[in-house]
Amino acid sequence: MGDPFRVRVTVRGYELDTQGHLNQAVYLQYGEHARWECLRAAGIPQDRLLAGGVGPVALEVTLRYLRELRGGDEVDVSCEFRWGEGKTFQIVQDLTRPDGTPVATITGVGGLLDLASRRLVPDPRVRFRQLATDPEPMNL
């Protein structure tokens, strides 16, 4: 397993709150963006998921703020899938400045929903592997 997948985001002015720093909800949006980009890098764009009759779901998310971000700041958002047994998996995401300074961490539990039965698939790692053209970004 290599380094986690990463995507760089520049903080935009309209994402700031009245204190002049990144609005708290936008950290979660950055995490979501990195997760979708990770899936895309693995060869699983959203249309491929839908055609396969599945979709990722967030079951639990925890966000820990470490430092503020302000307009124009750049932040690298990682995305590391951690697989175990059963219907769920962990996602660990670190938000860091380009110099490596930690900004926030997002940890979560996810699953893969069968869109027909509306139930979690029994082994999401196997299903993602079937859909992926490049398993490396997702640690498959």
Question: Is 124 a residue whose pLDDT tops 90?
Answer: yes
Q: Are 43 and 90 in contact (CB under 8 A)?
A: no
Query: How far apart are the C-alpha atoms of 20 and 104, rounded to whole Å?
Result: 17
Question: Residue 66: its pLDDT value, please?
Answer: 98
pLDDT at residue number 1: 58
Residue 72's pLDDT band (boundaries 50, 70, 90)?
very high
- Catalogue all structural domains in the chain, each as residue range(s) with its CATH number: 6-132 (3.10.129.10)
CA-based nearest residue to 69, from 106, 31, 96, 109? 96
